[in-house]
Amino acid sequence: MTTDLPLPERSAADEAAEWLPDGLVAVTAPGLIESVNAVALRITGLTREQVVGAPLEVGLPLRDHEGRAWWEVASPFNGLDTRTGHREKLLYLPSGREVLTTARYVRDGRRGPVVVVLIGLRDGEGRRRAERANAALISTIAHELRSPLTGVKGFSATLLRRWDRFTDEQKRFMIETIEADADRVTRLITELLDVSRIDARRLTIHARPVDLRVVLGRAVERLVASGGQCTVTTNVGAPEVWADPDRLEQMLSNLLDNAVRHARAHIHLSSRPGPDGTVDICVDDDGPGVPVEQRELVFGKFFHGRSPGSTGLGLYIVRGLAEAQGGSVVLQEAPDGGARVRISLPAGQED
């Protein structure tokens, strides 16, 4: 129920409130809603006529998760004279709509009576999306860990119970499988730690001049030693880059692992001077390439695309490491039609 009084003219403060990104409701003693901005109306689904001039518990009838009328619980115009408001709480409208609510109590003097209550409103949908994203992330991590751990548990238990029944060759095969699965778990945990550092912007970078001939040579040697079936060529057109050598090798390792999974027969590594004092490092493959509409998606967490054998974190980490070193990463089409991942990093030594 609302009063029959005409709505007051909008003040300069009311007009300024319309520019706020959050909902704002102003309540004056003894508890009547004086003003509300458009964002608050959109969040609550109410109209200005329903809200302005109404008692707070009527115009904004919020309840907590126990179903209690929130304004009776909070009692903003009564209670201790030291209260300054309340932190963000998830409250509910009668329609079931979730609203993130904060309140600020404005007093007449240090411990005087509350004269104005300013209520901030945010849509609960953003928090729900974040919770769903976190749940999906946990589910994906659990799935990625369960597969190798199942192998480790199965083979180790079988060996313990039936050791004498297997030949040396069979034992070696199972132990090698256990080792490979353990390495997979270790790598996933390492990648997750890197992801957390990237998200928190807490990566430690020790940049210095790096000889690309040495770094690219090591990357090729590791790929050949791992038994990769692709031929690899290099072209070092820019010999030096300003980067963290360990992080640069990590980036190249991730990119080569990705290229091996998609290449048909050939991978090409190259470096060349880029624009504005940068160096471009490119990893090309002759695989099917990546459609234009997916070229940004591949840098997301746990994006597998056509390659379910990976953790889906490699390219996300590559981009995070590049940006932490003042660079960037893009995915393009390679000259032979496959995929090209191009890393741009500062060239030479900073002054």
> pLDDT tens digit string along 279-335?
999 999 999 998 888 888 888 887 766 555 566 788 999 999 999 999 999 999 998
227 and 323 belong to one structural domain: yes
The Cα–Cα gap between 37 and 62 comes to 17
Does some domain include residue 5?
Answer: no
Q: Tell me: pLDDT of 200 over 60.
A: yes
Compute φ and ψ for 204, nearest 5 degrees: -95, 120
- Final residue belonging to a domain, choices 61, 91, 123: 123
Is the distance from CB of 217 to CB of 248 less than 8 angstroms?
A: no
Q: Which residue has the higher pLDDT, 8 or 315?
A: 315
CA 235: distance to chain centroid?
A: 35
Residue 137 lies in a domain: yes
Mark whether 241 and 144 lie in a shared domain: no
Mean pLDDT confidence for 84-90: 90
Q: Does residue 97 lie within any of the structural domains?
A: yes
Whether 91 is in a domain gets the answer: yes
pLDDT over threshold 80, residue 125: no
DSSP state of 55: B
Judgement on whether residues 224 and 288 belong to the same structural domain of the protein: yes
Q: At what angle do helices 245-262 and 314-324 cross, to 10 degrees?
A: 150
**Do 136 and 57 have their domain in common?**
no
Structure tokens at 111: 């411990």
Per-residue pLDDT band at 204 (split at 50, 70, 90)? confident
The yes-or-no answer on residue 143 being catalytic is: yes
Is residue 77 within 8 Å of residue 31, measured between CB atoms?
yes
- For position 2, what pLDDT does the model report? 43
Q: Looking at residue 297, which CATH number applies to its domain?
A: 3.30.565.10
Place of tokens 């004269």: 115
Residues 111 and 68 in one domain: yes
Domain boundary among 123, 155, 186: 123
What band does 171 get if pLDDT is binned at 50, 70 and 90? very high
309 against 117, higher pLDDT: 117
Is residue 6 in some structural domain? no
State yes or no: pLDDT of 351 exceeds 50.
no
Counting every residue written for the chain, the total comes to 351
Q: Do residues 150 and 87 share a domain?
A: no
Higher pLDDT, 23 or 349: 23
The pLDDT of residue 216 is above 50: yes
Give the amino acid at 248.
Answer: L
Q: Which of 30-44, 91-105, 127-141 has the lowest mean pLDDT?
A: 127-141
Question: Residue 268 pLDDT > 90, yes or no?
Answer: yes
SS3 label, residue 115: strand
Query: Are 77 and 100 in the same domain?
Result: yes
**pLDDT, averaged across the chain:** 86
Please check whether residue 319 is in contact with residue 268, taking contact to mean a CB–CB distance below 8 angstroms: no
Q: How far apart are CA 252 and CA 241, in angstroms?
A: 14
Instruction: Tell me whether residue 223 is in a domain.
Output: yes
Q: Are residues 241 and 331 in the same domain?
A: yes
Domain CATH number, residue 187: 1.10.287.130
Q: How confident is the model at residue 119 (pLDDT cuts 50, 70, 90)?
A: very high
Token representation of residue 293: 């509409």
Contacts of 2 (CB under 8 A, 6+ apart): 49, 50, 53, 54, 58, 59
Contact 282/270 with Cβ under 8 angstroms?
yes
**pLDDT of 9:** 54
Residue 208 pLDDT > 80: yes
Q: Is the pLDDT of residue 261 over 90?
A: no
If asked whether residues 221 and 324 sit together in one domain, one would say: yes
Q: Is residue 66 part of a domain?
A: yes
Q: Is the pLDDT of residue 202 over 50?
A: yes
pLDDT at residue number 80? 87
User: What average pLDDT does the segment 76-88 reach?
Assistant: 89
Give the distance, in angstroms, between the CA of residue 168 and the centroid of all CA atoms in the same chain: 47
CATH number at residue 98: 3.30.450.20
Q: Are the CB atoms for 91 and 71 separated by under 8 Å?
A: no
Choice among 143, 206, 262, 268 that is catalytic: 143
Range of the domain at 85: 12-123
**Same domain? 119 vs 132:** no
* Percentage of the residues of the chain whose pLDDT score is greater than 70: 91
Q: Are 102 and 117 in contact (CB under 8 A)?
A: no
pLDDT at 129 over 80: no
Tell me whether residue 351 is in a domain. Answer: no
Instruction: Give the mean model confidence (pLDDT) for residues 136-140.
Output: 75
Do 212 and 302 lie in one domain? The reply is: yes
Mean pLDDT of 266-288: 92
Same domain assignment for residues 224 and 334: yes
- Band of the pLDDT at 1, cuts 50, 70, 90? very low
pLDDT above 90 covers a percentage of the chain that reads 48
3-state percent breakdown (helix, strand, coil) of the chain, nearest 5 = 40, 25, 35
Last-in-domain residue among 149, 168, 199? 199
Using DSSP bridges, classify how beta strands 98-107 and 114-123 pair: parallel, antiparallel or unpaired.
antiparallel
**Range 254-262 average pLDDT:** 89
Q: Give the count of domains, the chain.
A: 3
